């Protein structure tokens, strides 16, 4: 989106709202992807661990016992993926980001709707943009923390 200078307070407010909406859609898409991956890993782990436990119960079949031990090994490997990728933590982080973007959007939209265009204050809109930037800063910082550590936050 091209930037213009000297926007009226109403144009500035609309510009900030457009950015919030665009970024909220981005965060929503990421949240859905991380949630799906987190759920898929949990379901896979549950299935693998359940199958291996059942098969281990059939101890008189040597082939099945070997297969069960293989499933236990695969379960261990798959369970290591969640902390490495931190999909659940990132999903929750995107949920938080969306909450903040919705709140910010609603506050700015209410300000625009409740204030005559000639009385809109650029300082109020700038403060909302600063909050918008702070949301991104917090999301980015926490994202990096999750990616740096071995354990999800």
Residue 76 lies in a domain: yes
Q: What is the pLDDT of residue 138?
A: 95
Residue 4 lies in a domain: no
Q: What is the pLDDT of residue 35?
A: 86
Residue 2 lies in a domain: no
Residue 48 lies in a domain: yes
Closest CA to 142 of 152, 128, 131: 152
| Secondary structure element (H or E) that encloses residue 60, with its range | none
Residue 55 lies in a domain: yes
Does the pTM exceed 0.85?
no
**pLDDT tens by residue, the chain, 153 residues:** 566 677 899 998 999 999 999 999 999 999 899 889 888 888 888 888 878 777 776 666 677 777 877 788 788 878 877 777 778 888 899 999 999 999 999 999 999 999 999 999 999 999 999 999 999 999 999 988 877 775 544
Q: What is the pLDDT of residue 50?
A: 78
* Residue for token pair 């079949």: 61
First to last CA, the chain: 34
CA distance 145 to 141: 6
Q: Total domain count for the chain? A: 1
Q: What is the pLDDT of residue 65?
A: 76
| Domain coverage including residue 111 | 9-148
């Amino acid at each position: 989106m091209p930037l213009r200078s000297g926007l009226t307070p109403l144009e500035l407010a609309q510009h900030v709202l457009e950015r919030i909406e665009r970024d909220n859609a981005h965060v929503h898409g990421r949240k859905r992807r991380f949630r799906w991956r987190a759920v898929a890993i949990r379901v896979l782990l549950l299935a693998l661990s359940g199958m291996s436990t059942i098969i281990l119960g059939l101890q008189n079949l040597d082939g099945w016992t070997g297969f069960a031990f293989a499933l236990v090994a695969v379960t261990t490997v798959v369970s290591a993926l969640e902390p490495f990728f931190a999909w659940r933590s990132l999903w929750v982080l995107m949920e938080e980001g969306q909450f903040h973007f919705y709140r910010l959007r609603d506050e700015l939209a209410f300000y625009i709707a409740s204030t005559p265009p000639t009385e809109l204050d650029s300082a109020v809109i700038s403060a909302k943009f600063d909050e918008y930037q702070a949301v991104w800063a917090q999301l980015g910082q926490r994202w990096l923390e999750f990616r740096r550590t071995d354990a999800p936050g």
